[in-house]
Amino acid sequence: MPAPYQVGYHVVFLLVFSFSRMVLSDDVHASIKNRLGNGENLSIHCQSKDDDLGQQDIADGSEFGWDFSVNAWGTTLFYCDMEWENARRSHFDAYSFSRDHTRCETQCSWLISKEGMYGMNGQTGFWEFMYDWPN
């Protein structure tokens, strides 16, 4: 028969784990909008440790999006490589739990333009300039 503290430890662990799964397993919709202008297509390849979303070509004025669940450990990360005509390949994190769990709780939207990248702040409802393109 296990000692009482061992049983208590397991019960507490299960309760904490179950609660964290309820809190962190929310579905998130991520999207990337092409606003490069002049009919330029955006080529993008996004993935996580577990999911490869494949190469996507996003027409000017269109967007690409996907849904996922945040893991219980708070380590969910989707990263993307992108390029377009006359531009260097760029890499960015489309969703990083440590950065985005409050900024874009259930909707994580990005806008790609010639001057840089904007992220929608779900708390304020405003697009925020996030990244400038390297020269």
Give DSSP secondary structure letters for 43-80: EEEEE-SS-EEEEEEE-TT-EEEEEEE--TTS--EEEE
Supply the CATH classification number for the domain 27-132.
2.60.40
Confidence of residue 24 (pLDDT cuts 50, 70, 90): very low
Token pair of 26, please?
A: 């929310």
Confidence of residue 15 (pLDDT cuts 50, 70, 90): very low
Token pair of 31, please?
A: 């999207």
Confidence of residue 33 (pLDDT cuts 50, 70, 90): very high
Closest CA to 84 of 31, 52, 39, 135: 39
Measured CA to CA, the distance from residue 98 to residue 128 in angstroms comes to 18
User: Whole-prediction pTM value?
Assistant: 0.77
Please report, for the chain, the start and end positions of each structural domain, with discontinuous segments joined by +.
Answer: 27-132
Across the range 50-62, mean pLDDT stands at: 96
**pLDDT value of residue 2:** 57
